[in-house]
Chains A and B, each alone.
Chain A
Amino acid sequence: MAIEAEGLRKRYGDTEVLKGVDLSVPEGTVLGVLGPNGAGKTTTVRILATLLPPDDGRATVAGHDVVEQPMEVRRRIGLAGQYAAVDERLTGRENLTLIGRLYRLGRAGARKRAGELLERFELTHAADRETKTYSGGMRRRLDLAASLLAEPAVLFLDEPTTGLDLTSRMTLWSMVREQVDAGVTVLLTTQYLEEADHLADRIAVIDKGQVIADGTPDELKRKVGGERLEVSLADASGAAEALRMLERVSVGPAVTADDGRTLTVPVASGIGAIAEAAAVLRDRGVEVTDFAMRRPSLDDVFLSLTGQADGAETIEKQEVTA
């Protein structure tokens, strides 16, 4: 196991922030730690990255105990914290060169490695500009690059894409993927189910300082329900036939809403199911007023795992033109 944590506890004053967190991450895999704001994700990462001692419990990272041998752990990890840690007054290159020198790569070694990483993270064009001029996505990339300077075996990413637009998010995802392909073990925290689904081999759902579910993304989605296609018909009379059509592409039982004309069917993810559903409905001349893919959000995950949410189902909606 590259990361192994047992019964991590932490309290601040009267509030117990971690109530016994257990995690284990096999070498070369990605664990997504999924949880809402205040769940204890950052606290967990800080303990594992030797920045914060746990009140109780133990953890080893890359074969070394985080409390007993913090230096050994630090030699083997990279950390990109929740807020990109860049020196705004330095250029991107200077930022990386500084961290490289502190990683003891030597002056020339640090400069060379900084150049490589700037290239890999598509920052060469801005390398010699002060980072205060960087966009959020560029800062994140620079921060990630800094965490990779010493080629760590274990990488901690605390909400690496929070606040980024979709394009920057996808770029960052592919950069993280590259690291995983190169054999790096990654623990990443996120508030987005989609992100965990995209990057993680396993997901640990954490809430109020406890891991409340743990499994592969598929296992988790099976529990929560995966993507659903929601079709609204112009007219309730065609509902029965449309439902029969849609069952061909569904992967579970379809449901008709109380209004008699809104149909929801669970479907396999990907464009195939959408295309097929759209095609059969068009061929039969069914008149459709709304056609949308809905994917479970973090709220759905919590609703189904804890049974508590705001009551109303909040789901992210992705419109698809019918």
Chain B
Amino acid sequence: MGELVDDVMALTGRHMRHILRVPEKLIGVTIAPVVMVLIFGYLFGSAMTVPGNGNYREYIMAGIFTMVMFSAIGTSAAGVADDLKNGLVDRFRSLPMSRYAVLLGRTVSDLAMTALSCVVMAAVGLLIGWRAHHGLLKTLAGFGLLLLLGFTMCWLGALIGLVVRSPEAVNTIASLMTMPFAFLSNSFVPLDGLPRWMQIMAEWNPISAVVSGCRELWGNPSTTVSDALPAQHPVLTALLTCGVLLAVVAPLSSRAYNRAAAH
């Protein structure tokens, strides 16, 4: 266990160096989320009415946070595909270390980046009028949900990177696969207008669950009207859906890693 932690730390150090040396990456995790907050907060804000006449900027923040967590898929996928391509995965696999170390090193450091994004976005959110109303613990619990989603997405990204392998193709494939998740959710639009079967899918979508969970924990306006379990217990649903997804994706990634071949 101690050895696993050492390995993960060594690999995380490696990824942090990448971030420092590739300024685009740092921009990706800081400036880009800020731009998203501003675009959604100001550009689209005027065109939307929030159910119950809630504060629009409070309403959208949870959605923007989850979108950024979601984009970790592409980051992790690209990182893993790069390592495969340049033979580093073969080198790592020839070392006497746990097969989880490399994937954990990747997902933990990508998670750290998404956490940094969260901090930056929260600051900008506060500036434009977003507030959490239920105290520090619940506020942090909301961010906990977001990070759980982010971590799950990092593992999903690692899996995609290992399966797709080509760094050029990985981004396209990742966004194609994830687009339906992102849009079939309650991030930015209420679900009432959708056909029932789509509503059900959208409600059980981990993204929706996390969005609703955060809105509940932060006391932000919410759009849920259904009496289904996901709508009534969004935090529980978020934990459940992310947990199940993680429990499926992590072993699959580890299996794919074990069989990975660069060429």
Tell yes or no: A120 within 8 A of B by CB.
no
* Chain B contacts with A in 21-75, Cβ cutoff 8 A: 21-22
Q: Which residues on B sit within 8 Å (CB–CB) of A75?
A: 96
* Chain A contacts with B in 72-89, Cβ cutoff 8 A: 74-75, 77-79, 81-89
| Contacting residue for B87 out of A77, A83, A90, A103, CB 8 A | A83
Tell yes or no: B97 within 8 A of A by CB.
yes
A71 to B10, CA, bound (A): 20
Q: Mark A79-120, 1 if CB is under 8 A from B, else 0.
A: 101111111111000100011011110000000000000000
Check if B90 sits within 8 Å of A102, measured CB to CB. no
Tell yes or no: B141 within 8 A of A by CB.
no
The smallest beta-carbon distance between B92 and chain A, in angstroms, is: 7
The smallest beta-carbon distance between B210 and chain A, in angstroms, is: 32
* Chain B contacts with A in 83-103, Cβ cutoff 8 A: 86-88, 90-97, 101
The smallest beta-carbon distance between A74 and chain B, in angstroms, is: 4
Residue of B nearest to A132 (CB): B21
A103 to B96, CA, bound (A): 7
User: Which residue, A75, A85, A86, A88, has most C-beta atoms of chain B within 10 A?
Assistant: A85
Check if B94 sits within 8 Å of A87, measured CB to CB. no
The 9 lowest CB-CB distance pairs between A and B, nearest first, are A85-B87, A85-B91, A74-B96, A101-B10, A79-B94, A75-B96, A83-B87, A89-B18, A81-B90
Tell yes or no: A305 within 8 A of B by CB.
no
Residue of A nearest to B102 (CB): A102
Please, how many residues of chain A have a CB less than 8 angstroms from a CB on the other chain?
30
Tell yes or no: B227 within 8 A of A by CB.
no
Q: Which residues on B sit within 8 Å (CB–CB) of A83?
A: 86-87, 262-263
Contact A104/B18 with A77-B94, A81-B87, A99-B95 known, Cβ cut-off 8 Å: no
A130 to B17, CA, bound (A): 11
Residue of B nearest to A53 (CB): B259
The smallest beta-carbon distance between B127 and chain A, in angstroms, is: 34
Tell yes or no: B168 within 8 A of A by CB.
no
Tell yes or no: B255 within 8 A of A by CB.
no
A84 to B86, CA, bound (A): 8
Contact A103/B95 with A87-B88, A90-B17 known, Cβ cut-off 8 Å: yes
Contact A88/B86 with A81-B91, A102-B97 known, Cβ cut-off 8 Å: yes
A50 to B14, CA, bound (A): 25
Tell yes or no: A233 within 8 A of B by CB.
no
Tell yes or no: A51 within 8 A of B by CB.
yes
Q: Which residues on A sit within 8 Å (CB–CB) of B14?
A: 87, 90, 94, 98
Interface of B is mostly: helix
Q: Mark A148-179, 1 if CB is under 8 A from B, else 0.
A: 00000000000000000000000000000000
Check if B94 sits within 8 Å of A102, measured CB to CB. no
Q: Which residues on B sit within 8 Å (CB–CB) of A101?
A: 6-7, 10
Tell yes or no: B261 within 8 A of A by CB.
yes
Chain B, interface residues (CB within 8 Å), range: 20 to 34
Tell yes or no: A59 within 8 A of B by CB.
no
The smallest beta-carbon distance between A46 and chain B, in angstroms, is: 8
| Contacting residue for A104 out of B6, B11, B90, B262, CB 8 A | B6
The smallest beta-carbon distance between B81 and chain A, in angstroms, is: 14
Q: Which residues on A sit within 8 Å (CB–CB) of B94?
A: 49-51, 74, 77-79
Tell yes or no: A146 within 8 A of B by CB.
yes
What 4 additional pairs, Cβ within 8 angstroms, besides A51-B93, A84-B87, A103-B95? A79-B94, A82-B87, A83-B263, A89-B18
A87 to B15, CA, bound (A): 10
Q: Which residues on A sit within 8 Å (CB–CB) of B262?
A: 81, 83
| Contacting residue for A85 out of B10, B11, B21, B90, CB 8 A | B90
A98 to B261, CA, bound (A): 21
Tell yes or no: A52 within 8 A of B by CB.
yes
Q: Which residues on A sit within 8 Å (CB–CB) of B261?
A: 46, 51-52
Q: Which residues on B sit within 8 Å (CB–CB) of A146?
A: 91
Q: Which residues on A sit within 8 Å (CB–CB) of B87?
A: 81-85
Residue of A nearest to B83 (CB): A87
A88 to B88, CA, bound (A): 10
The smallest beta-carbon distance between B118 and chain A, in angstroms, is: 25
A104 to B101, CA, bound (A): 13
A51 to B7, CA, bound (A): 19
22 A-B residue pairs with Cβ-Cβ distance under 8 Å, sorted by A, are A46-B90, A49-B94, A50-B93, A51-B90, A51-B261, A77-B94, A81-B87, A81-B90, A85-B86, A85-B87, A85-B90, A94-B14, A94-B17, A98-B13, A98-B14, A99-B91, A99-B95, A101-B10, A102-B10, A102-B11, A102-B97, A103-B96
